[in-house]
């Protein structure tokens, strides 16, 4: 039979090569198969789509300023404990009330708790009551300060329940409220310790350890902020480690000149605990600020932001000093 012109020998051979049920590529309108994208191309696309991580620069003058503030705060706490009269702690309590006000302002501005004005007012009252009890309670005990902190926390929560917008945030912000109240009450503990055996020496040693640790860490950041702990946090690991070491050394030196039962070894233990707590709290404040910045929250007022770390560090060092004075030195 006569064949159509399209079915020539070349076409037959092309169909045979293409396999059954599969028209030859590019023949009789068949669409050629697309080649899969290479893994290299996918990787380049993903890399192009990734956002660049912001690296926050370390400001040298600011680090030195925070270092000086931390050193002065530690020196003030130590000298105040050393110079307070045996039966008159009112002057030391007044100085510490000023520090409590600074702590309150810095942490209220940084954490933005619900009903900020009410929370600040309740915390200020708790600070005054805690200072009064630390000076006048007989016998001097930590339990009344614990009750003040508990009552202040409960009163602050009640004050946050009146307005609907504040009430909606209470469940998520109660930890911030607790930190604010505990911090202001914690600054009354050094006054309480000066009225107890070995308490004054413990305040001096712990304040020196924490102060030297923060001073060294911040000053090192101004000179050698490496290796960076995180790109968004303007701190270096070298300063944190060196601060803990020198803070322990300073406390060990004080332990060698104080009266028994203080020894260089016991001073080093107290200094190590104080330096580690102070360094970690200061670093945690930096991470919290970086987290708020990444979340798009309004930045904290710059003075409060940079005072928050040292103030929080000494506030949480005081309970540790009390515990060491009663469970380690006694």
- Domains of the chain: total: 2
Within-domain flag for 247: yes
Structure tokens at 43: 């990787």
Which tokens sit at 275? 């330096």
Classify strands 233-236 and 228-230 as parallel, antiparallel or unpaired.
antiparallel
State which residues form the domain around 94. 85-193
Helix axes 90-111, 60-83, angle to 10 degrees: 150
Q: Comparing C-alpha atoms, which of 325, 209, 321, 193 is closest to residue 261?
A: 325
The domain boundary residue, chosen from 171, 193, 215: 193
Instruction: Assess whether 117 and 79 both reside in one domain.
Output: no
Q: What is the pLDDT along the chain (330 residues), one digit of tens a residue?
A: 444 444 455 544 554 454 454 444 444 444 444 555 444 444 443 444 445 667 777 888 989 999 999 999 999 999 988 887 666 678 888 999 999 999 999 999 888 888 888 999 999 999 999 999 999 888 888 999 999 999 999 999 998 888 877 777 877 788 889 999 999 999 999 999 998 888 889 999 999 999 999 999 999 999 998 888 888 888 899 999 999 999 999 999 998 888 777 889 999 999 999 999 999 999 999 888 888 777 776 666 777 778 889 999 999 999 999 999 888 887
Answer yes or no: are the C-beta atoms of 179 and 107 closer than 8 Å: yes
Confidence (pTM): 0.79
Q: What SS3 class is residue 250?
A: helix
Query: Do residues 214 and 67 share a domain?
Result: yes
Residue with tokens 């004075």: 325
Residue position matching structure tokens 């309150």: 104
Claim to verify: residue 220 and residue 72 sit in the same structural domain: yes
230 strand-pairing partners: 233
8 lies in some domain: no
């Amino acid at each position: 039979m006569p064949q159509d012109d399209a079915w020539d020998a070349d076409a037959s051979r092309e169909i045979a090569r293409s396999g059954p049920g599969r028209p030859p590529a590019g023949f009789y309108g068949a669409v050629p198969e697309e080649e899969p994208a290479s893994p290299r191309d996918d990787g380049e696309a993903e890399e192009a789509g990734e956002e660049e991580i912001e690296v926050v620069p370390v400001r040298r003058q600011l680090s030195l300023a925070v270092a000086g503030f931390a050193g002065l705060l530690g020196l003030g706490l130590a000298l105040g404990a050393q110079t307070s009269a045996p039966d008159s702690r009112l002057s030391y309590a007044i100085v510490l009330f000023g520090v409590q006000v600074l702590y309150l302002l810095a942490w209220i501005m940084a954490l933005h708790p619900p009903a900020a004005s009410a929370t600040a007012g309740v915390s200020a009252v708790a600070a005054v009551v805690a200072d009064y009890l630390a000076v006048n309670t007989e016998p001097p005990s930590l339990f009344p300060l614990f009750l003040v902190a508990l009552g202040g926390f409960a009163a602050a929560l009640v004050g946050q329940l009146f307005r609907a917008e504040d009430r909606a945030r209470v469940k998520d912000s109660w930890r911030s409220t607790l930190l604010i109240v505990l911090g202001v009450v914690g600054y009354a503990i050094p006054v309480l310790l000066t009225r107890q055996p070995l308490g004054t020496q413990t305040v001096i040693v712990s304040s020196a350890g924490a102060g030297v640790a923060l001073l060294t860490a911040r000053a090192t950041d101004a000179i050698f902020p490496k290796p960076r702990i995180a790109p968004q946090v303007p701190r270096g690991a070298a300063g944190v480690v060196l601060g803990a070491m020198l803070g322990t050394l300073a406390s060990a030196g004080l332990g060698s000149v104080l009266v028994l039962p203080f020894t260089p070894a016991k001073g080093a233990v107290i200094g190590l605990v104080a330096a580690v707590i102070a360094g970690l709290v200061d670093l945690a404040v930096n991470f919290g600020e970086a987290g708020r910045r990444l979340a798009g929250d309004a930045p904290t007022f710059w003075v409060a932001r940079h005072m928050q770390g040292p103030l929080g560090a000494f506030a949480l060092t005081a309970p540790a000093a009390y515990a060491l004075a009663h469970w380690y030195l006694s």
